[in-house]
Every structure is written in structure tokens, then in C-alpha cells.
Amino acid sequence: MLKDITLGQFFPGDTLVHRLDPRTKLIAVVLYIVALFQAGGVVGYMLLILAAAACMAVSHISPKSIFKGLKPMIFIIILTGALNIFYTTGTPVLPGWIITWEGIIRAVKMILRIVLLITGTFLLTYTTSPMALTDGLELLMNPLKKIKVPVHEMTIMMSMALRFIPTLIEETDKIMSAQKARGADFETGGLIKRARALLPILVPLFVSAFRRADELAVAMESRCYHGGQGRTRMKQLRFAGIDYGALLASAAFLAGVIVLKKFGL
């Protein structure tokens, strides 16, 4: 049950998108998001949808898995749409209604923006392993080290957090079974009773998370880990021809969207 949660899940594969350097994909996603907020007219949005669909096709990511990821966001999406429909002034759809044409158009645009934003980031996490992603992030943020931003520490924390999500989920399952065996009841009762029933799960979970963190720290220190200074990597990231091509295409795409906006398309 808990195991079914997908969270930044990686689908291994060997497509063009999978082979791209993680830095390329990170930059491309950032450019895509900028384009998303630059697009003005129908043509611009069509281009954005087309680009997302093309990436999905090339990377063999099914729309189904994207929708699965969108599910938890459905509330926010609907709320945004509703707020835009009801709170935009303009010409009413029917005389006397508060719903306006402008409101509907704006709501559709906002919803499209959110959906495409999520789709774009999912395409990144679905096609890039967490390790590659953090490596790419660290290299991209490297210049920040000059102004004393602890880039390496931040990225290693991120990869560790990602690494321990499945472990903690498994642990939660185990603790839940153990407490159920002692007659704990998680299913019945009101909100307060149910919240209280979580205590027998949360306390052991926190205790074990701290224990794990301690053990991990000792294990890292005993292997002479001392932060990012002078650290080399086993897998060196290198830009290849396709990376330059992909970056160029992304930049051209953003420029195109901006130009289209100038023409009001």
C-alpha cells in the first residue's frame, strides 16, 4: 500500500532523453519553465504542449505515468482554475453572471501552465536517476562555491534524503504491522482518535531515523568522508554532441516563444 507511492521516481531506460547529460536536462527544464511563463497566445501554448508531447514520445514515458503523478496536485489545479474563473473582471459570459470570457481563458491558461510545469519536471525526474540529478545540480551550482555556498553538502543531503525514502516507507510498513499485532487500530474513530493512533508509528519511526542517521554518519567518517574538498568522482559528466544540440534547441525554443509573444500569438 505505502509502497505504491511514486515520488520523483526514476524509470530506467536507454532513450535519447535518458542519455542526455543531467546538466543539459536541468537547463532545458529551466528554459522550458521560463518559456511557460513567457507564452502569451494560443500558438505559444500549442508549441509548449507539442514540445512536452515530443519529449514524452522520445523518452517512452507514457501519459499514464504523468497523470499518476498529477493526481496529488488535482486539488490545487482545480482551486486555481476556480479562483481565476470567478475573480477575473471583463465581459460576462451571460448578462448578470460573474463568470467572464476573460476569466475562462485565464483559468485555462493557468491550468495549462501548472500541468505543463509538473509534466516538465516529471520528465526530468522520470528519465534521470537521483544520483545523476544531484551530480548535475552540484556541477551546475559549482560557481556558487566562490561565495561560500555549501553546494556539495546541500546536494549530498538531497541524494541521501532521496536514498532513504524507500527505506523509511518499508520501515513504516513494518512498524504498522507490529503495532497492529498489538491491537492498534488505525482505521476507526474520529479525526483526533486517528491522529492519536499515529503516535505508536511516528515515535519508533523517528527513533529509527535518528539511529540510521547516526550510523550513516559514523560509516561515512570511517571511510574518511570529509566533505566536497578535493573529491573526485567515479562517473565524470561530459557534454556530448547531443547535449549541445538539445541545449541549442531549448534556447531556440524559448526565443521562438518570446518572439511569438511579441506578435501576440
Binding site for other proteins (CB under 8 A): 174-175, 177-185, 199-200, 203-204, 207-208
Residue 19 or residue 174: which is nearer to other proteins going by CB?
A: 174
Cell numbers at 68, concatenated: 499518476
**Residue closer to other proteins, measured from CB, 38 or 65:** 65
Separation between Cα atoms, residue 183 and residue 46, nearest integer Å: 56
Q: How far is the CB of 69 from other proteins (least distance, A)?
A: 18
Contact 17, 123 (CB under 8 A): yes
- Say how many Å lie between the first and final Cα of the chain, rounded: 47
CB of 94 to other proteins, least distance (A): 49
Residue closer to other proteins (CB basis): 131 or 209: 209
Q: Which is nearer to other proteins, 76 or 207 (CB)?
A: 207
Give residues with Cβ within 8 angstroms of 80, minimum separation 6. Answer: 107, 110, 111, 114
What minimum distance in Å lies between the beta carbon of 9 and other proteins? 14
* Closest CB 193 distance from other proteins, rounded Å: 12
Q: Which is nearer to other proteins, 181 or 234 (CB)?
A: 181
The CA-atom distances, in angstroms, between 190 and each of 126, 223, 235 are 38, 49, 52
In angstroms, give the least distance from the CB of 122 to other proteins: 21
Q: Number of helices and strands (H, E) in the chain?
A: 11, 0
